[in-house]
Structure 1
């Protein structure tokens, strides 16, 4: 199994830490498209990072930004919906047995479409206001909290297939995802 470095930050400006992960997502998506890469290792790494990152944002970053009026309820809820859509697209990639099929390539492209849309929107509607409305000290405190939560989720094997299935099922139960919407 190929070890893929996901970074283990312990501190920093929360906006910069999130952007660092966004660049990692883009790199991992390129590797998922590359037939010469260890696509199975890459999809496991992507899954771990995606789930850990999203959970840490939803648990700590979005609520703090809402409390400080840096973002509205709509932006935070929309970010959570897009995380759920990302998990759903990720599940389709994880559930495929082979990584050298057209079905895998198609699932990766859908994952890339969903994730890239979210990265762009989050950078514009959540991270830009956070930069403008939240002071350096609070961004640093929130960065440490985000990093700690993200790393703890990584340690808990949060990206395992069973975990992603459970997250998608929970999002469906909560009405965040439509029951019949499988991508």
Structure 2
């Protein structure tokens, strides 16, 4: 199999739709770890769906949940910071030249660590309040808005290396990520200079 079919729902409860994508992320991460899988296709699919998913959440879901007092501004901002961290790990994975190197395997694990942490937190601190504090009607409306935006972004090719670089650069500018590798533990400080 060389291409992954990314589901493109158009409506539904936003909580269920987001959870479906979380399970898709986990399946794609398993394939990225599998030396017999089409890792290049899995990487491209994960990049596309991860960026579209997160951007649609930030623009459609988090703001509505804040207005409904289901989540605090801090919880929304923390979710955005975790998206940025995952996107930065995704960028490192996309910049790996091959899929059969230790660098690639390490990048997969870095991305898996960031994603698994975010998925757990988001399901507990954002999706649970959405289930209990927001009406079914609002969740259905949000589901349609989120799915529409996610599908638009998928069609726009947001998973490309160029697009992911722009998303990560924007996160640095907005202060969601440290500026200029302040973390100090990055070995590839020159990666942003390419391209």
Report how far residue 38 of structure 1 moved: 0.8
Within 5 Å, give how 1:25-174 maps onto structure 2: 25-174=25-174
Gaps of 5+ in 2: 188-195
| CA–CA separation in structure 2 for the residues paired with 1:7 and 1:42 | 14
Within 5 Å, give how 1:2-21 maps onto structure 2: 2-21=2-21
Report how far residue 6 of structure 1 moved: 1.3
Report how far residue 164 of structure 1 moved: 0.5
TM-score, normalised relative to structure 1: 0.98
TM-score, normalised relative to structure 2: 0.92
SS at match of 2:21: helix
Report how far residue 89 of structure 1 moved: 0.1
Gaps of 5+ in 1: none
Report the counterpart of residue 192 of structure 2 in structure 1.
Answer: none
SS at match of 2:104: helix
| CA–CA separation in structure 2 for the residues paired with 1:13 and 1:170 | 30
| CA–CA separation in structure 2 for the residues paired with 1:33 and 1:46 | 13
SS at match of 2:176: coil
| CA–CA separation in structure 1 for the residues paired with 2:6 and 2:123 | 20
Report how far residue 163 of structure 1 moved: 0.5
| CA–CA separation in structure 1 for the residues paired with 2:147 and 2:172 | 28
Q: Which stretch shifts more, 171-180 or 33-42?
A: 171-180
SS at match of 1:138: helix
Aligned residues: 183
Report how far residue 175 of structure 1 moved: 1.3
SS at match of 1:142: helix
| CA–CA separation in structure 2 for the residues paired with 1:174 and 1:132 | 31
SS at match of 1:91: helix
